[in-house]
């Protein structure tokens, strides 16, 4: 199983119902493609460091998930790229830290 972290920034003009529906849609997409959600963090509305699509703020969500399906990250990125409510996203593979068995001289 590989671990991933997905950061999604949604438009600030969305209502709470629309935000919840969009988050559930992303979670369902992960689960339908043999992924398991490990954590969901809602950062809320934050200011952007520079305007994106004429927006100065956005709603931030962090999805942590695990999957053995190597095609899931590409599928997620494709669906997020064509979604008009997504301002930005970043999907990262998380590496497990190596064991510190070596002594430092």
- Please answer whether residues 2 and 46 qualify as being in contact, where contact means their C-beta atoms are separated by less than 8 angstroms: no
Residue 25 belongs to what domain range? Answer: 2-94
Average pLDDT for residues 4-32, to the nearest whole number? 96
CB atoms within 10 A of CB 103: 5
Residue 16 included in any domain: yes
Average pLDDT for residues 40-68, to the nearest whole number? 95
Q: What is the pLDDT of residue 100?
A: 59
Residue 90 included in any domain: yes
Backbone angles phi, psi at 16, to 5 degrees: -60, -40
Residue 100 included in any domain: no
Residue 76 included in any domain: yes
- Give the integer Cα–Cα distance in Å for 105 and 93: 32
Residue 105 included in any domain: no
Q: What is the pLDDT of residue 71?
A: 94
Residue 103 included in any domain: no
Residue 59 included in any domain: yes
**Which residues are within 8 A (CB) of 68 and not within 5 positions of it... i.e. 6 or more apart?**
1, 2, 34
Number of structural domains in the chain: 1
The percent of residues above 90 in pLDDT, for the chain, comes to 89
Q: What is the pLDDT of residue 102?
A: 58
């Amino acid at each position: 199983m590989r671990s991933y972290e997905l950061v999604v920034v949604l438009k600030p003009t969305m209502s709470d119902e629309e935000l919840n529906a969009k988050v559930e849609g992303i979670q369902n997409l992960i689960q339908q493609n043999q992924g398991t959600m490990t954590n969901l963090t809602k950062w809320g509305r934050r200011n952007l460091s520079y305007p994106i699509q004429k927006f100065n703020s956005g709603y931030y969500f962090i999805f942590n998930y695990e999957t053995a399906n190597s095609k899931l990250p590409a599928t997620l990125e494709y669906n997020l790229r064509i979604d008009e409510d997504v301002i930005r996203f970043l999907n990262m593979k998380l590496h497990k830290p190596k064991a510190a068995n070596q002594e430092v001289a």
